[in-house]
Structures are given as C-alpha cells and as structure tokens.
Amino acid sequence: MLEGWARQQAAQFLRSETIKPRLRLVRRMEEFTGLYPWQWTPHEGEAFIAHLRSPRPGRPKGIEVSTARGYEVTITLFVSYLLDQRYGWVRACMERFGEAPQEVFHEGNSVAHTVEFEANPSRRPLAYDEIQALFDAADARPGRIRSQGRKGALCALRDAAVLKTIYGYGTRRTETSKVDLVDLRRNPKMPVFGSYGSVLVRYGKTTKGAPPRRRTVLTVPELDWVTDTLDHWLTELRPHFSPGRHPALWVTERVGRLSPRSINEAFRNARDDAGLDPRLDLHCLRYSYISHLIEFGYPPQFVQEQVGHSHGSTTAIYTAVSNDYRNTLLEAAMKKRLGGDWDVTA
C-alpha cells in the first residue's frame, strides 16, 4: 500500500522531501493503533490526534492546530488512495481479510478551518529597536569569541552578515542558503547600488508538484545599507574561507554551502545574546521585512512580488504595522478631512 501510494505521489512530481514524511506519518499511526490501515476507523484517528495533543517530553503543549490539520490531511490522502476503486485495494482487502478501508477523518472529527492564519502567534515582526538589538548582538559575538580564545569568530562575522541580508531582502532560510554569487545582479534603474541592485531567488517556496518558484528581489533605498554588508562579506570576509570556485554566496569553513539549519542557529545565538523573546524564530525577520516595507509606503502588490507570495491575502497575513505608522495614517486622514490646521493634540 505504501509503495503504491509513494508511486502515485511521485507520478505527481512531488519531491521525496514531501513523500517520505507522509509515509512516516502513516507508519506512526499504524504503530500507535497496532492495526493495519484496512482496520482503521474514525475512533483510531481521533485517538491518534488526541494522543499527539497531550503533553509529553519535548513538547509540553502538544502539537499545534496547524500541525494536527496537516496530519489529518495526510492520513485522509492515504485513505483516499486506498478507497480509489482504480487501485483495487478495497476488493483485495475484502477478499483476504473480510474488511475494507474506510474514512478515518470527516467533518465531525477533523480540525475546522475557521481562520487563515493558524501559526504560533509568537511568530511576529520585530520592532525596529529589536532589529537593531539583534544586529548589535550578532556584531558583538565575534569579539566575544576572540576574547575567550575560542574558534569561530570568522563564522560569527559571516552569520551577522547572513542575518542582515535575510532582513534586507526578506528571504526564507532555504532561499538564502541556495543563493549563488551569480544571483547578485545590477539593477539598471538603480545604478547607485552597483552589483547589489537585486537578488535572483531561484529556489523559492514551491507548491505541490511544481518546480521552485523564481523571483527577483529588488534592493530598496530604505535598506540600502545591506549593499555595504554584502560588499564587506564578498571582498573582505569570504576570501578568508578559501572558497575557490564554490558558487555559493554563503560558505562554511569546510568550503561547503551554509545550511538552513546553521542559519537558524545563527539567529538563535543572536536572539539569545540580545535578550529577545526566546519564542521568536528566523522567519520573524521575513515578517519584519514585509511589515516594514508597508510602513515605508510601498504598494501591497510590490511587497507581494518582493517576497514571492502567490496571493495578496498571504502578504496581508504577514503584515503587522506599528502603532506609530497607523497613527501617522490617522493624522493624515484627519487633516485631509478637517483641514491642514487640525491639531492632533487638541
């Protein structure tokens, strides 16, 4: 059954990174229930999700709502494959075992999709002072490593540049990891930025059965300091790694491509050094980029294209502008309505 389901997904051009976790989840449910898939009922599905919601070592609060929904969808896809008459599993199970697969999750026992955004609310944009504190902590880390006589100061300098670049272009961790030197491009309309007028993202987040999305992220004037960061990395820091002909923009001391996991670790180190909320994660820098572009006055369509969202509603979910920005808009609206002499303090 699992082999056949894997072939079906492969025929849809799904990646192995998508297929393998799905197969593991089915095996987890089989192990939990102690039953074969043709013996599963809604009772087993409900018990499985209830078990995962229960606190346990390493996850004191159980799984998130979005995770539970993903598990239910995966198991439903597997069962739908078994119930498809074109594959003959219902007939085979009835002939051999006298039982046939049945639906496990339905409207009455699956997570209701009532809101668009179900992620952890602690994943939020950082305020400007938090961004500054994060970067200050990242910049201070190499000096502290040197003073302690430890190795890793050069890597810490690289990590600080990586974090600033992620915020400067709003890229995801995997996109950042896979950027190559040739992806740094000039922008003919903004020659002032030199070779860092844009970044070509060739490995953007993909959808089911589709190749990675490509997009070009333009350097914006409000964040033009990122060009100095990139220039310093390429001309002064990167050569110390002796990268040779390695194409990656971000390389390791062993002349490999910097991994998404290492980028996550770089953020955690800087976050903890800065004393920021430990629930914040690397993706919060992308949230910050989106929100700050809106505050800078860029149209939502421009922001959507910069970050590679297919729908404007997704960009809106990520946007959380500051009170100062909203008050500025409110003051402008009141002056337009009541006249330029309107006093905000009156």
Q: pLDDT tens for residues 20-48?
A: 999 999 999 999 999 999 999 999 999 99
CA 331 to chain centre: 35
Alpha helices per DSSP H over 173-244 = 173-177, 225-232
CB contact at 8 A, 196 and 225: no
Q: pLDDT tens for residues 308-330?
A: 877 655 555 555 555 565 556 55
Provide φ and ψ at 59, rounded to 5°.
-145, 75
Positions of the chain with pLDDT under 70: 58-60, 112-122, 207-209, 311-346
Q: E strands, the chain, where?
A: 184-185, 198-204, 213-218
What is the per-residue DSSP string for 46-90?
A: HHHHHHHHS-BTTBTT---HHHHHHHHHHHHHHHHHHH-GGGTHH
Strands 198-204 and 213-218, how do they pair? Answer: antiparallel
Q: Amino acid identity, residue 165?
A: T
Q: How far is CA 112 from CA 29, 40, 51, 69, 131, in A?
A: 21, 22, 19, 8, 36
CB contact at 8 A, 192 and 171: no
Provide φ and ψ at 180, rounded to 5°.
-105, 165
Q: How far is CA 240 from CA 51, 249, 253, 254, 260, in A?
A: 51, 13, 9, 11, 22
How far apart are alpha carbons 92 and 96 in whole angstroms? 6
Provide φ and ψ at 13, rounded to 5°.
65, 30
Determine the pLDDT at residue 327: 58
How far apart are alpha carbons 88 and 103 in whole angstroms? 16
Domains present along the chain, CATH in parentheses: 2-97 (no CATH), 128-282 (1.10.443.10)
Determine the pLDDT at residue 89: 96
How far separated are the first and last CA of the chain, in Å rounded? 73
Determine the pLDDT at residue 146: 93
Determine the pLDDT at residue 114: 46
Q: How many helices (DSSP H) and strands (DSSP E) are in the chain?
A: 14, 3
- Would you mind telling me the total number of residues written for the chain in this entry? 346
Determine the pLDDT at residue 105: 93
Half-sphere exposure of 260 (CA within 13 A, CB side): 11
Provide φ and ψ at 215, rounded to 5°.
-160, 160
SS3 14: coil
Determine the pLDDT at residue 55: 80
How far apart are alpha carbons 78 and 22 in whole angstroms? 9
| Closest by CA position to 106, among listed 188, 186, 197, 43 | 43
Q: How far is CA 116 from CA 224, 315, 316, in A?
A: 33, 12, 11
Half-sphere exposure of 112 (CA within 13 A, CB side): 3
Name residue, tokens 């995801």. Answer: 172
Q: How far is CA 178 from CA 85, 102, 183, in A?
A: 42, 43, 10
Rg (CA), the chain: 25
Determine the pLDDT at residue 115: 47
Determine the pLDDT at residue 117: 46
